[in-house]
Structure 1
Amino acid sequence: MTRTDGRVLVAGATGKTGQHVVEALSETPFVVRAVTRDADAADSLRTQGVDEVVVGDLLDPEDAARAVADVDAVVSAVGAAFRLEDIRGDLVDGAGLVNLIDAAADADVKRFVLTSSIGVGDSKGGLPLSIRAILTAGGVLSAKERSEERLKETSMDYTIVRPGALTDSPATGDVLVGEGGDSVRGSIPRADVANVLVHALFTPETENRTFEIVSQPGLRDPPNTLVDVEWGQIPRAEPAE
């Protein structure tokens, strides 16, 4: 995105990564919209910087369509934890995100930034075998891969970001970006992930590409196929008079 106004939908805004995304976007000229299943979360989201709240479940295609109405871009920070209820039913990472992607494409949304995970698709080697086995059994990785593939099939300009293991540590500002599957291994603070997601909106060279990211302090093994991204500048809102 290069415009300095418009509307951005944050999916997963109530999650730990999504909250960082909202914080970053709240300082821009964009109208920030969030979608949440929890009606009680609306007031909290507004205090965090969200301008518009859509209460709905992404597993419902009609709710997904309402969420993307009149939206210019989507940032998805959706992520399902590994739980028994995830195994028994559709994961938001899978069916829910496919609904959101389809709705965004139908609504002519131009830009979509998707949070996935190292371990998905050709990056499976970047995930420790024990963790990969758990996430595979729970359907998490296949759900995320389904979302990635669906997004690539649309005409939207997309960026797919695959972070390593997520931590709640403060942002490091020192992110290693890989491209090409098994490129980097390790961990990364959620705040760093959010920073990458928001910067991707304003960095045309990230369009229609898939990246793996970890922080320099969280790097586990020597990296492969690192790329140097010239991140665009995030526009800032003018101070209120």
Structure 2
Amino acid sequence: MKTLIIGASGQIGKMTTQKMLSEGNDVVALVRDKNKLAGIEHNNLTIVEQDLENDFSRAFEGIEQVIFSAGSGGATGADKTLLIDLWAAVKAINYAVDAKVNHFIMVSSIGADAPDNIESSIKPYLVAKHMADQHLIQSGLNHTIIRPGTLLDDKATGVFTTTRPATRQDAVINREDVADALVYIATKESKNSQVFELFNGDKPLSELPAFN
């Protein structure tokens, strides 16, 4: 199955790209600047250089599955949050519908289910994620929406939970663990539409109902 990874030069996207390739999967990496993937070479890798703020529909040619891991980043303003986390995601979903993609995996965020429940500077980001998630759910595409907790840069733990921890400081997950979860979902033979949160926990993915 040929998988398009949108945001392949981001932290999670790059790790996911490398892990997918290491398992022998065909990957199309969509990036704004191909130099950000310098050092990643593989016969199964195709790099498409396009800006998500423009038309990037040609990246979907021959694609069977999409992983959307693009994000505007914490240093940008509300304008980029709107253009990338919401509008680029909506366009990607629409392109996927037109291309008759089999499965669309969205990297969302904890709190995207109910942005009004969180009063913080990231509320515009959560609203964007919420609207993008809703568009995907209503698109008719077979989908998986992963809402990870606060992201950390530590090495993967290999153990997870989909139950939100009682305290905010425990509602975290390492970026590499998110990448491993994306690869696990992407390489499964059977996929059912679902939405779940994901955190560092105490069980491998194979023991979690959401991954089986």
- TM-score above 0.5: yes
Per-residue displacement from partner, 1:9-29 (whole Å, max 9, x unpaired)? 111111111111012100233
Distance 1:123 1:94, change over 3 A: closer
- Give the alignment of 1:141-220 within 5 angstroms: 141-178=126-163, 183-184=164-165, 186-203=171-188, 207-216=192-201
Gapped runs of 5+ residues in structure 1? Answer: 1-5, 218-226, 233-241
Gaps of at least 5 residues in structure 2 are: none
Aligned length: 203
Q: TM-score, normalised by structure 2?
A: 0.85
Q: Which residue number in structure 1 is paired with residue 70 of structure 2?
A: 78
1:59 to 53, 56, 77: 53
Q: Aligned-pair distance for 1:230?
A: 6.9
Structure number, greater radius of gyration: 1
Counterpart of 1:220 in structure 2 is: none
Q: 1:120 aligns with which of 101, 112, 135?
A: 112
C-alpha separation between the residues in 1 aligned to 2:116 and 2:190? 25
Deviation at 1:50, TM superposition (A): 6.5
- Residues 80-113 of structure 1: CA deviation (Å, up to 9, x unaligned): 2233x43234331100111111101111011011
Aligned partner of 1:88 in structure 2 is 79
CA deviations over 1:148-193 (Å, ceiling 9, x no partner):
0111112221000000000110000111113xxxx34511100101
Q: Write the distance in 2 (CA, Å) between the matches of 1:204 and 1:122.
A: 31
SS at match of 2:130: helix
Check conservation: 1:109, 1:156, Cα contact below 8 A.
yes
**Cα separation, partners in 2 of 1:52 and 1:205, compared to 1, 3 Å:** closer
Change (3 A) 1:157 1:145: same
Distance between the aligned counterparts of 1:119 and 1:146, measured in 2?
12
Q: TM-score, normalised to structure 1's length?
A: 0.76
Secondary structure in 1 aligned to 2:154? coil
The separation in 1 between residues aligned to 2:149 and 2:92, in whole angstroms, is: 24
CA distance in 1, matches of 2:14, 2:121: 26
1:229 correspondence with 2:209: yes
1:7 maps to a residue whose letter is K
2:27: which partner in 1? 32
Structure 1 distance, partners of 2:35, 2:187, is: 32
Aligned residue identity for 1:134: S
| Deviation for aligned residue 1:122 | 3.8
